[in-house]
Homo-oligomer: A and B are copies of this chain.
Amino acid sequence: MGHAKAGKNGAALHPEAVAAPETVPLASLVSRLGKFSAVESGDTLRSLVRGRRGYDRDTPAWAERGDLASIVVIESGWAYKFAIMHDGRRHIADFFGPGAICNWSRLSRFEEQDDILFKGGASVTLLEPGLLDEKLNEDASLASTIKRHELARAMRTTQRIRAFISLPAMERTLLLLLDFADELRTVGKAPDWIHTPFAQAELADMLGLTAVHVSRVFKKLVDTGIIVRDGNSVRFTDRRRIERDLAYRRFFQARRSP
């Protein structure tokens, strides 16, 4: 992941990371929510749009400076939530793929004071927080859909945290890759090839490892035939088996066509 072939802003060179700017806003989010409800919620949500924004290079947004006053929804590309620790290390607590809501949750409405970094090539839609709350109070079906979506994220995070605290590096890394695949599945892609624009140093800050060790873990995973790499992307040779071995629980199931 983040291999040199993809360039400095890896995502910018990949079609799925720059496709969105001309599409209808919130397409990714609406597609995600469709996995949790048959009700079409696009029009309601689109009435809350306050603006859009694209990032051609990695761009941090600082909570303190009010950069995150609007609700941010990823249209395309990726972002992550991070914090600097007392020893100077950066910890990345969560990541966001297309359709994810970065800085709002009805489950835990308190201020997460974490900052967010938008990866180069990402584009986002901004929503009005007050209006969203209002809509959700009116529209119980939409509220319940969003709640189930948030719930799935929360449970996936719980599963990941458990692994990152207790398991060795290889299993942590595999589980993170499975989470990436899960995140991609949310927007209808059930990709063999898992692609994200994250650099190994960023993976390290998610995993609680060093970048050097992440590199070695990937090498070992390739050498033992567990994954195949092509530039920025990764493929499991037998994903089912890995999921079984790790007791991995999927939270974003592909939905039968209605």
Contact = CB atoms under 8 A, between A and B. Distances in A.
A155 B110 contact: yes
B110 A108 contact: no
Nearest to A207: B165
28 contacts: A83-B162, A85-B162, A85-B163, A85-B166, A85-B247, A86-B245, A86-B246, A86-B247, A87-B167, A89-B166, A91-B162, A91-B165, A91-B166, A93-B158, A93-B162, A107-B107, A107-B109, A107-B110, A108-B108, A108-B154, A110-B154, A110-B155, A112-B158, A161-B161, A161-B165, A165-B165, A165-B207, A165-B208
Contacts of A93: 158, 161-162
Interface in A193-218: 205, 207-208
Contacts of A207: 165
A30 interface: no
A110 to B, nearest CB: 5
Given A110-B151, A161-B161, 5 more contacts: A85-B162, A86-B246, A91-B162, A91-B166, A110-B155
A32 to B, nearest CB: 18
A118 interface: no
